[in-house]
């Protein structure tokens, strides 16, 4: 029945944790058949239960992805504690084991014998490129990074990072597939430390950290600059387009904008403390004191639910606005 | 009638352009009586017309601020081409003339004789601190920066930046007033180049610029990293709270998070090109080529409307979620 629904390629998810579960729901939302693998049958059945419960909840809340019902999507997802069985007939493999280079190496060595000439094997790694662990594989040219952002079901970005040996067709196929299931992939030309997302994120944290240490603003006010100032804009418009749109009566486009304002930006960034910046413990302790006033340790879990509710609501709003425009 | 509605202090807006109009609508939304000043009566009446039309539109669209009707708010806003008349009885003055230091100096010199011991005079300047033009004023201790973000009606952040002579009570009063009308003020302890918002913004652009020049990603993909990755999160949670919430099974709070992950961030930022960065024209021309594929010059105005519609919708969503939580 499930295959009748889709007739699409099969997806193998290696690792049944939160990220693996999210990937399974994303691919099923796109109409793909998915098999979740983990070592212990209990892990697999627990993951399937969570996925089932989440998809049902998302349907009720109106934030289920894709055009199939929750029941249909659940029907597309199965589990296995046999790696061979999971990989059989799969054309795309998304590995989601913990972020440890030796573990990644071991898992990829186990996958290697099953990699066919039509298969792509992606790691969900947030900072370890395939160059660090896949070099000895026979099929290393079919491996790459596809790094999702938390929570992947509501934050569509995926960083595609090819290794030095990854075939261009493998990179291209990954991008096409991820776009087909509603993610928003970007393609890096090569591995760099932090990929793109964390390079931007650390740029932000560095300056926030330096301003805090310098006594310029409180930690709460620093976070407000983003949440009530830059953040809403960045939910819809990137930093480069922002420069283009900021062209005003005096300037007509991004080039004019740079000619007029680049020197001012240069002067401001001349006063930056040069990187690298170490996020030191005494400063972290001071910030923690402030942050804990609103989010004490026992409320962190609750606040994560609060965050994910908002991200889900924003994803729904963006979808609705997009449908209105298209 | 209007004064019966509020009984609150009066606000003087100096400059009838887009920012001045926004401030007028924000204060009227909070129930304050507002007078908009500009040199020519035509400028003033044109601004009043626009404000009237905007408030009526916002009411129809369901994004009018405050608890008064559009008609009531319009009744609170008047105009004048006499500076003296505008400043009379005002307890808070928001200057919104173009960002030119000599012009700011001239305008503040004209305002100075009318400054009373209960008055605050704020400039909307995005980068010029009062130390650069208010030093010769008799009442310089009652001046400071209150820098809004575009479009101020939907982006609540205001950067309060005291000059070296600003009285603490003046800074505190400004913060209280801006909070009372629904803005989200942050207080810097002193003037620094770029204040806080542009320091963060330039940190982001710098790294994006460097990644683009390095051929790491396309301009479109760089903007996607923000819009589909970091941006949605930053619409609700600041960079410091993000570190706190990212504490996971291995770490329990921001301090643990730093102990475990600071070295990784340090290593990534070790590969950054040290600031200052000049946004050079050849690179801007390359980026423009890409950006113009989706937003050609003749569509910039339309795209700004597109952006402001989204910011209004997000502001409404945030308000709705807040009311649900509170």
Residues A90 and A66 in one domain: yes
CB-CB under 8 Å, A266 with B258: no
Q: Cα A169 vs. chain centroid, distance in angstroms?
A: 22
Q: Quote the pLDDT of residue B248.
A: 64
Measured between CA atoms, the residue of chain B closest to residue A217 is B188
A316 within a domain of the structure (yes/no): no
Q: Can you tell me which residue has the tokens 């500076």?
A: B83
Q: Is the dihedral of CA A322, A173, A175, A178 positive or negative?
A: positive
Residues B142 and B248 in one domain: no
Q: What is the ipTM of this complex?
A: 0.96
| Average confidence (pLDDT) over A140-167 | 97
> What pLDDT, on a 0 to 100 scale, did the predictor assign at position A275?
96
Q: Return the pLDDT at A1.
A: 36
Interface test with A, best of B154, B241, B263, B324 (most A CBs within 10 A): B241
Q: B281 CB near a chain A CB, below 8 Å?
A: yes
Non-local (6+) Cβ contacts of B64 within 8 A are B29, B55, B58, B70, B73
A9 and A136 share one domain = yes
What residues does B160 pair with on adjacent strands? B146, B187
- Closest chain A residue to B184 measured between Cα atoms? A228
Report the C-alpha gap between A32 and A3 in whole angstroms: 9
The three-class DSSP label of residue A119 is coil
For residues A215 and B240, the answer to whether their CB atoms sit within 8 Å is no
B40 touching A (Cβ < 8 Å)? no
User: What's the CA gap between B11 and A152, in Å, rounded?
Assistant: 46
Q: Are A39 and A15 in contact (CB under 8 A)?
A: no
What lies within 8 Å, CB to CB, of A121 at 6+ separation is A93, A95, A108, A111, A115, A139, A142, A143, A144
Best residue in A175, A236, A250 to probe B by mutation, most B CBs within 10 Å? A236
Report the gap between the CA of A147 and the closest CA in chain B (Å): 11
State the pLDDT at residue B250: 57
Asked, for residue A277, whether it belongs to a domain, the answer is: yes
- Which chain B residues are closer than 8 Å to A199 by Cβ? 207, 211, 268, 272
Let me know if B176 is exposed, middle or buried by CB neighbors in 10 A (0-12, 13-18, 19+). exposed
Q: Is the link from the previous residue into A162 a cis peptide, with omega within 30 of 0? A: no
Residue A217 belongs to a domain: yes
CA distance A244 to B296: 10
Asked if A223 and A170 sit in the same domain, the reply is: no
Rounded to whole angstroms, the Cα distance separating B300 from B313 reads: 20
Is B240 within 8 Å of A212 when comparing Cβ atoms? Answer: yes
Identify whether residues B140 and B224 lie together within a single domain: no
Reduced to 3 states (helix: H, G, I; strand: E, B; else coil), residue B219 is helix
Give yes or no for B172 touching A (CB within 8 A): no
Pairing mode, strands B143-148 and B157-162: antiparallel
* Same-domain status, B240 and B172: no
Closest alpha carbon within chain B to A247: B300
Place of tokens 């809340």: A61
The minimum CA-CA distance between B282 and chain A, rounded to whole Å, is: 9
Residue A229 lies in a domain: yes
Contact A198/B at CB under 8 A: yes
Per the document, the length of chain B is 326
Residues 85-144 of A with CB under 8 A from B: 127
Nearest CB among B216, B281, B297 relative to A258 is that of B281
Contact of B194 with chain A, judged by CB distance below 8 Å, is answered with yes
pLDDT by 10s per residue, chain B, length 326:
334 445 678 999 999 999 999 999 999 999 999 999 999 999 999 999 999 999 999 999 999 999 999 999 999 999 999 999 999 999 999 999 999 999 999 999 999 999 999 999 999 999 999 999 999 999 999 999 999 999 999 999 999 999 999 999 999 999 999 999 999 999 999 999 999 999 999 999 999 999 999 999 999 999 999 999 999 999 999 999 999 887 665 567 888 888 888 999 999 999 999 999 999 999 999 999 999 999 988 898 899 999 999 999 999 999 999 988 76
Please give the order of strands across the beta sheet that includes A33-37. A77-80, A33-37, A10-14, A90-95, A120-123, A143-148, A157-162, A184-187
CB proximity under 8 Å: A 59-88 to B:
none
**Angstroms from B294 CA to nearest CA on chain A:** 10
Closest by CA position to A43, among listed A86, A79, A70, A74: A79
- Kindly report the CATH number assigned to the domain that includes residue A287: 1.10.1040.10
Can you spell out the DSSP letters for A235-282? TTS-HHHHHHHT--TT--SHHHHHHHHHHHHHHHHTTSPPSP----HH
In a domain, B179, yes or no: yes
* Chain A residues within 8 A of B271 when measuring between CB atoms: 192-194
Ramachandran area for residue A89 (φ above 0: left; ψ -120 to 50: alpha; else beta): left
Q: Select from A102, A17, A28 the least CA-distant residue to A65.
A: A28
> Is B179 near chain A, with CB under 8 Å?
no
Residues A107 and A14: beta-carbon distance below 8 Å: yes
Contact call for B196 and A211, based on CB within 8 A = yes
Q: Which helix (H) or strand (E) holds A160?
A: strand A157-162
User: Cβ contacts (< 8 Å) between A258 and chain B: which residues?
Assistant: 279-281, 284
User: How many angstroms separate the CA of residue A94 from the nearest CA in chain B?
Assistant: 19
Arithmetic mean of pLDDT, A96-101: 96
Which of A194, A234, A300 is closest, CB to CB, to B230?
A: A234
| pLDDT digit string, tens, across residues A32-78 | 999 999 999 999 999 999 999 999 999 999 999 999 999 999 999 99
- Interface residue A159 vs chain B (CB under 8 A): yes
B181 to A177, B30, B65, B67, B68: CA distances (angstroms): 48, 4, 9, 11, 12
Residue of B nearest to A302 (CA): B245
Q: Do A244 and B149 touch (CB under 8 A)?
A: no
Q: Are residues B48 and B24 in the same domain?
A: yes
Question: pLDDT tier at A251 (50, 70, 90 boundaries)?
Answer: low
A180 interfaces chain B, CB cutoff of 8 Å: no
**Are residues B180 and B242 located together in one domain of the fold?**
no
- Contact yes or no for A200 and B204 at CB 8 A: yes
Asked whether residue B218 falls in the same domain as residue B164, the answer is: no
In terms of Cα–Cα distance, which of A222, A177, A132, A154 is closest to A9?
A177
Task: Please tell me whether residues B242 and B106 are part of one structural domain.
Answer: no
Residue A136 to residue A108: CA distance in whole angstroms:
10
Write B245-251 long-range contacts (CB < 8 A, 24+). B245/A295, B245/A300, B245/A303, B245/A304, B245/A307, B247/A300
pLDDT(A2) > 50: no
A98 torsion bin: left (phi>0), alpha (psi -120 to 50), beta (else): beta
Query: Which alpha helices (DSSP H) does chain A contain, by range?
Result: 2-6, 18-29, 41-61, 70-76, 83-87, 101-111, 168-180, 197-213, 219-224, 231-234, 239-245, 254-269, 281-294, 300-325
Query: Which residues pair with residue B146 across a beta bridge?
Result: B160
The DSSP code for A221 is H
Asked, for residue B104, whether it belongs to a domain, the answer is: yes
User: For residue A10, what are the contacts with CB-CB under 8 A and spacing of at least 6?
Assistant: A32, A33, A34, A35, A89, A90, A91, A92
The kind and range of the H/E element at B143 are strand B143-148
> Could B321 and A300 be called an inter-chain contact, meaning their C-beta atoms sit closer than 8 Å?
no
> What interhelical angle do B18-29 and B41-61 show, nearest 10?
50
CATH of the domain at B151: 3.40.50.720
Q: Is A17 helix (H, G, I), strand (E, B) or coil?
A: coil
Can you say whether the dihedral through the CA atoms of B151, B152, B156, B160 is positive or negative? positive
In a domain, B300, yes or no: no
Query: Does the beta carbon of B250 lie under 8 angstroms from any beta carbon of chain A?
Result: no
Is the same domain home to A217 and A146? Answer: no
User: Could you tell me the residue range of the domain that residue A163 belongs to?
Assistant: 2-187
Token duo for residue B105: 């100096």
Positive or negative torsion for Cα B275, B279, B283, B286: positive
Total domains in chain B come to: 2
Give the pLDDT score at B169.
97
Burial of B132-149, coded b for 16+ CB within 10 Å and e otherwise, reads ebbeebebbbbbbbbbbb
Name the 3-class secondary structure at B309: helix
- Closest CB from A205, A280, A297 relative to B239: A205
Contact B229 A199 (CB under 8 A): no
Distance CA B248, CA B254 (A): 10
DSSP character at residue A13: E
Whether B312 and chain A come into contact, CB under 8 Å, resolves to no
What average pLDDT does chain A have? Answer: 94
Sequence-separated contacts (24+) of B220-224 with Cβ below 8 Å: B220/B290, B220/B291, B220/B294, B221/A186, B221/A187, B221/A196, B222/A186, B222/A196, B222/A238, B222/A239, B222/A240, B223/A237, B223/A238, B223/A239, B223/A240, B223/A241, B224/A157, B224/A184, B224/A186, B224/A238
The verdict on residue B319 lying in a domain is: no
- CB pair distance less than 8 Å for A234 and B229: no
- The answer to whether the CB atoms of A184 and B228 lie below 8 A apart is yes
Burial of A261 (0-12, 13-18, 19+ CB in 10 A): middle
Same domain, B61 and B147: yes
């Amino acid at each position: 029945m499930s295959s009748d629904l889709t007739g699409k390629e099969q997806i193998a998810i290696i690792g049944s944790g939160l990220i693996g579960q999210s990937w399974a729901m994303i691919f099923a939302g796109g109409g793909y058949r998915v098999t979740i693998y983990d070592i212990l049958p209990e892990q697999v059945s627990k993951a399937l239960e969570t996925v089932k419960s989440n998809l049902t909840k998302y349907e009720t809340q109106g934030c289920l992805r894709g055009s199939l019902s929750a029941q249909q999507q659940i029907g597309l997802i199965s589990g296995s504690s046999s790696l061979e069985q999971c990989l059989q007939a799969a054309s795309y493999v998304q590995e989601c084991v913990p972020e440890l280079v030796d573990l990644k190496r071991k898992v990829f060595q186990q996958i290697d014998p099953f990699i066919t000439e039509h298969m792509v094997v992606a790691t969900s790694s947030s900072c370890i490129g395939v160059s660090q662990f896949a070099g000895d594989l026979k099929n290393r040219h079919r491996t790459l990074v596809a790094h999702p952002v938390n929570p992947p079901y509501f934050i569509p970005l995926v960083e595609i990072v090819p290794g030095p040996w990854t075939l261009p067709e493998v990179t291209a196929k990954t991008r096409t597939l991820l776009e087909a299931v509603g993610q928003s992939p970007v393609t890096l030309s090569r591995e760099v430390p932090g990929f793109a997302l964390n390079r931007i994120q650390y740029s932000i944290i560095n300056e926030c950290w330096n301003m805090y240490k310098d006594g310029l603003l409180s930690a709460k006010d620093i976070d407000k600059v983003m949440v009530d100032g830059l953040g809403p804009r960045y939910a819809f418009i990137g930093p480069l387009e922002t420069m283009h749109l900021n062209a005003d009566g005096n300037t007509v486009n991004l080039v004019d904008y740079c000619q007029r304002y680049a020197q001012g930006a240069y002067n401001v960034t001349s006063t930056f403390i040069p990187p690298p910046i170490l996020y030191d413990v005494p400063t972290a302790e001071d910030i923690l004191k402030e942050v804990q006033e609103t989010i004490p340790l026992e409320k962190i879990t609750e606040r994560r639910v609060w965050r994910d509710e908002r991200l889900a609501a924003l994803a729904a709003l963006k979808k609705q606005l997009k449908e209105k425009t298209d």
